Every structure is written in structure tokens, then in C-alpha cells.
Copies of this chain bind each other. A is one copy, B any other.
Amino acid sequence: MLYHVRMDVNIPLDIDKQKAEEIKATEKAYSQELQKQGKWRHLWRISGQYSNISIFDVENNEELHSILQGLPLYPFMNIEVMPLNRHPSSIRDDDS
């Protein structure tokens, strides 16, 4: 099942720099593992923003929430979720 998720990241300016780098590295590994599993289907950067647009393909709302809550950057994020459907005009097999 597909979800459209926008994540806006706001890391406080006074955070310890090394700690911030560690969190970002953990975030990257966490994201890439979920991409390999096919659960984090797409991931794009919004130009000029510390924000991304992601498409998740998960079993249900529970799995989505569990993944988002587990994001290492979760405490610094504002997250918006929209459930998606296959569009009746879509011709792509992998858009549903």
C-alpha cells in the first residue's frame, strides 16, 4: 500500500556537529536498508530545501508509523502523510 510522505528536517543550530554527523550517517543507512527491502519506494530531495518527498510501500498504517517513528532524524522532523491510490489512468505496473 502506498503513502506519500514529506519530511522537513530542522536540526537545531547549536547541536554538537559530530553528533549531528553521526545521526545523519545512521539515517542514511536506515533509509537505504528500507529502500533495499522495497518499503521505501522512492526518495527525492526538494530543490533548495532540507526536505524530501518519499513514497512508501508498506503493509498498513502500523508499519508506516513504525518506520517513520524509527527514523534517526525523527525528533528533528516535521512529517506529513497522505495515503495514495493507483490512478485509473496510470499505465505503470509499479505505481500500485
Q: Could you mark each residue 36-66 of chain A with 1 if its beta carbon is under 8 Å from any beta carbon of chain B, else 0? A: 1000001111111100110100001110110
- Whether B4 and A85, one on each chain, are in contact in the complex, defined by CB atoms closer than 8 angstroms, is no
A contact residues, total (Cβ < 8 Å): 48
Q: Inside 8 A of A75's CB, which chain B residues have their CB? A: 13
**Contact (A4, B53) CB under 8 Å given A32-B89, A89-B32:** yes
List the interface of chain A (C-beta within 8 A of B): 1-5, 12-13, 27-28, 31-32, 35-36, 42-49, 52-53, 55, 60-62, 64-65, 68-69, 75-76, 79-92, 95
Number of copies: 10
- Whether A48 and B1, one on each chain, are in contact in the complex, defined by CB atoms closer than 8 angstroms, is no
- Whether A85 and B1, one on each chain, are in contact in the complex, defined by CB atoms closer than 8 angstroms, is no
- Whether A52 and B87, one on each chain, are in contact in the complex, defined by CB atoms closer than 8 angstroms, is yes
Query: In the complex, how many angstroms separate the beta carbon of A87 from the nearest chain B beta carbon?
Result: 4
